[in-house]
């Protein structure tokens, strides 16, 4: 059966992005590909396959269900790490399959030890410490108790990592907060060092931190948005601008293109309202194309009378409100448009391009949000 739209994922773009990331983090740092949120909308299975072909052997998920999809898709025995939600009842599967996970609560730690003991397989844990993000992480005053547990149950634990996450490394407004976090992380590290507790990897950096705070690049970086070809923020791009100016080219390339086709065409007279309500009145005799993509497909209602798509390589405007399954676009000035013609919602057509960033400009929707709201049931295809 045919879907109303389709998404293409470029593997050559991915390779190029990894090459750039590698140039930033050095040869000795593990790049963990963050695949939460259905791999930022790209499809976990697609990204695991493309990434493994590009040499990636480490993946970061938010939750166990995502980790399970990586586990099933992986062909190269890659390491999988869960950074967020783990239900204690899933620990058995996780530990049995050698999947590592963040630990930031004694409850999870004690259960992990119990399960590891039962399975006679050490639990691979990443101890997350609180440095100022204030979401998850062991507090400074919990470290002694934590160390005691590690001393006592060490044989059931594989101390895979010591980690933290920064509270907004993509914006200079958070500079002081991030600096304090780096300091506090170092305090934790030295304290564990001086108490004889060593971790397999030390990792703190996401995409923005890797670019803007190179001192946060340690044994491993957890890279999400960059690998998909997007800058974490305009600001991060600007801060790299000087360095990039030398080759005058954006080193990142978007993987994703989103396409549909014209469903039907209709002529309307001057003064006619198009679609629900009265938000758009034809100011002349017009030709309107219906495109079967609406807010249920992730095309925000906020793009009513604002959004653009490409047809015949030309930018055309959404007229009227975005409805659940469709938008109307103004094709009055295009010649020979017919039903079935390609419509590009994100991507290139002839000499024009609609970027993901252009959505943020009109709707404040950040690229992270737009991508992850693309429904999983739109078919995705890997292309060159
Ligand atoms: C999402 C996430 C990342 C990756 O963030 P990007 O900005 O996409 O690089 C890294 N670490 C943690 C803990 C995360 O939740």
| Matching residue, tokens 């469709």 | 326
22 and 93 share a domain?
yes
pLDDT digit string (tens) for 115-164? 999 999 999 999 999 999 999 999 999 999 999 999 999 999 999 999 99
3-state secondary structure of 326: coil
Sequence-distant (≥ 6) Cβ neighbours of residue 112 within 8 angstroms: 91, 95, 101, 103, 123, 125, 156, 157
Q: Of the residues 205, 226, 245, which one is the last residue of a structural domain? A: 245
pLDDT in tens, 63-107: 999 999 999 999 999 999 999 999 999 999 999 999 999 999 999
Q: What is the mean pLDDT of the chain?
A: 95
**Residue 346 within a domain:** yes
Inside any domain, residue 3: no
pLDDT of residue 167: 95
| Tokens, residue 117 | 């003991």
Last residue of a domain, one of 224, 245, 266: 245
Which of 295, 286, 332 shows the shortest CA–CA distance to 312?
332
**Cα 206 to ligand 1 centre (Å):** 5
Residues 211 and 271 reside in one and the same domain: no
Cβ of residue 294 lying under 6 Å from some atom of ligand 1: no
What pLDDT is stored for residue 312 in this prediction?
A: 97
Looking at the domain assignment, is residue 154 inside a domain? yes
Six-digit token string for 344 = 């590009």
42 and 170 within one domain: yes
- Write the CATH number for 233: 3.20.20.10
Q: Does residue 364 carry a pLDDT above 80?
A: no
Label the pairing between strands 264-268 and 256-261. Answer: unpaired
Spatial distance between the Cα atoms of 289 and 40, rounded to a whole number of angstroms: 30
Prediction pTM value: 0.95
What CATH number is attached to the domain comprising 323? 2.40.37.10
CA distance 284 to 287: 10
What's residue 11's pLDDT?
98
Q: Is 135 annotated as contributing to ligand binding?
A: yes
Q: Do 222 and 286 fall within a single domain?
A: no
DSSP state of 154: G
Residues 216 and 328 placed together within one structural domain of the fold: no
In a domain, 4, yes or no: no
Query: Would the CB of 225 count as within 6 Å of ligand 1?
Result: yes
Q: Residue 19 catalytic?
A: no
User: How many structural domains comprise the chain?
Assistant: 2
- On whether both 189 and 261 belong to a single domain, the answer is no
Domain range holding 309? 256-383
Q: Are residues 152 and 117 located together in one domain of the fold? A: yes
Contact 14, 20 (CB under 8 A): no
Distance CA(20)–CA(252), nearest Å, equals 7
The answer, yes or no, to whether residue 361 has pLDDT greater than 80, is no
């Amino acid at each position: 059966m045919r879907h109303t739209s389709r998404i293409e994922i470029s593997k050559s773009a991915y390779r190029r992005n990894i090459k750039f990331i590698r140039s930033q983090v050095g040869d000795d740092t593990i790049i963990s590909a963050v695949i939460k949120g259905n791999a930022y909308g790209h499809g976990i299975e697609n990204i695991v396959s493309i990434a493994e072909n590009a040499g990636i052997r480490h993946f970061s998920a938010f939750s166990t269900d995502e980790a399970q999809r990586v586990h099933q898709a992986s062909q190269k025995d890659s390491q999988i790490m869960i950074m967020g939600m783990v239900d204690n009842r899933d620990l058995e599967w996780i530990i049995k399959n050698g999947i590592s996970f963040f630990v930031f609560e004694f409850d999870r730690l004690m259960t992990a030890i119990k399960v590891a003991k039962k399975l006679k397989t050490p639990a691979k844990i990443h101890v997350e410490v609180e440095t100022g993000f204030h979401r998850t992480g062991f507090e400074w005053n919990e470290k002694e108790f934590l160390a005691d547990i590690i001393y006592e149950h060490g044989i059931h634990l594989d101390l895979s990592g010591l980690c933290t996450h920064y509270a907004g490394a993509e914006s200079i407004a958070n500079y002081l907060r991030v600096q304090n976090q780096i300091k506090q992380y170092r305090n934790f590290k030295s304290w564990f060092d001086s108490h004889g507790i060593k971790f397999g990897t030390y990792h703190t950096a996401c995409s923005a931190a890797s670019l803007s705070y190179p001192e946060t690049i340690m044994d491993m970086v957890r890279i999400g948005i960059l690998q998909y070809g997007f800058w974490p923020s305009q600001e991060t791009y600007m801060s790299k601008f000087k360095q990039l100016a030398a080759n005058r080219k954006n080193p990142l390339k978007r993987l994703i293109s989103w396409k549909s086709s014209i469903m039907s065409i209709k002529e309307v007279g001057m003064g006619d309202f198009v679609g629900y309500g009265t938000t758009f009145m034809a100011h002349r005799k017009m030709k309107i194309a219906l495109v079967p993509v609406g807010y249920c497909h992730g095309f925000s209602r906020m793009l009513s009378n604002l959004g653009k798509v490409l047809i015949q390589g030309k930018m055309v405007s959404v007229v009227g409100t975005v409805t659940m399954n469709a938008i109307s676009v103004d094709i009055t000035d295009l010649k020979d448009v017919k039903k079935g013609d390609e419509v590009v919602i994100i991507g290139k057509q002839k000499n024009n391009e609609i970027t993901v960033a252009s959505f943020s400009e009109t709707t404040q929707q950040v690229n992270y949000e737009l991508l992850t709201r693309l429904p999983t049931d739109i078919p995705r295809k890997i292309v060159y």
